[in-house]
Chain A
Amino acid sequence: MNTTLSREIEYLPQSRRRLLVAVALAGYPVAVAALAGLKHTSVNRWLILAVFLLLLMPTLVTLAVGYRYARGRIDGRCARLDGRRVRLDERDLALRQQAYALSHRVLTVILIAATAITEIYLTSGNTLQLDANTFWLAAMWVIVYLPALPSLMLAWIETDQPADA
């Protein structure tokens, strides 16, 4: 990633970062919902795949931006500032802790909501077919979001960077 783009990501205002996080979180479920909706129609399979990938693209891009924004501060192995390797200072550590705590809360809310919706759906007389495809989509959600959530939450909570002086 070139330096100018890296710096632009580093200095993204909080409002824009929050929009990116919202897109990252909503993108995958929207893409999966579109796939599920189109699967039982007569639309060409390749077209469905193209729509799915098109809807998935903003998620992938925003996840990458979120990860770059956290610039190694989440795992703390290669924290970077203006392209230089730096060690995490006390504010970075405090922020990381907050990001992990918020990730836990968000994950808990999502899992409880998903369980509640499924429960309501099942007790309303509907049936749910758990095949390999459904399982894979759920597993993908975990694979994509579980590692990315702390970075996204860090991007969500950090206030705007002070101007360099």
Chain B
Amino acid sequence: MPDSQHSVHNRLAVLRTERGLSRRQLADKLGINYQTIGYIERGDYNPSLELALTIAELFRLPIEAIFSLKPMTPLSEEIFREPPEATR
């Protein structure tokens, strides 16, 4: 796969576990093969925009909360992060 294929990071594994879904269950909801979920979670496959949007819709989260071009920080860190000065 081209190098650009490795530049998308995701939180799929965390979100799936949090909602108590197995790969198979999530795959069935998305209409894909369960192994594809594993490949996405491992970062070996970047989903199409359509699939990424479907995943975001399923988790009821904005797409940028699941997929990012930058490495993902832990969710807890993001939740308890101090807001920037300008927005206070």
Contacts and interface: CB of A to CB of B under 8 A. Distances in A.
Interface residues of B, number: 20
B22 interface: yes
Contacts of B24: 164
Residue picked from B24, B35, B48, most chain A C-beta under 10 Å:
B35
A161 B23 contact: no
B24 to A, nearest CB: 8
Interface string B1-20: 10000000000000000000
Interface string B24-36: 1000000111111
Residue picked from A81, A92, A162, A164, most chain B C-beta under 10 Å:
A162
A1 B12 CA distance: 35
Contact of A81 (B33, B37, B48): B33
B22 to A, nearest CB: 6
Contacts of B39: 91, 159, 162
B38 A90 contact: no
A162 B35 contact: yes
Contacts of A143: none
A55 to B, nearest CB: 35
Contact of A161 (B22, B35, B51): B35
Contacts of A163: 38
A90 B31 CA distance: 10
Given A81-B35, A91-B32, A162-B37, 13 more contacts: A81-B33, A90-B32, A90-B51, A91-B39, A91-B45, A92-B36, A161-B35, A162-B35, A162-B41, A162-B42, A163-B38, A164-B24, A165-B38
12 contacts: A81-B33, A86-B33, A89-B31, A90-B51, A91-B32, A91-B33, A92-B33, A92-B36, A94-B45, A162-B37, A162-B42, A164-B24
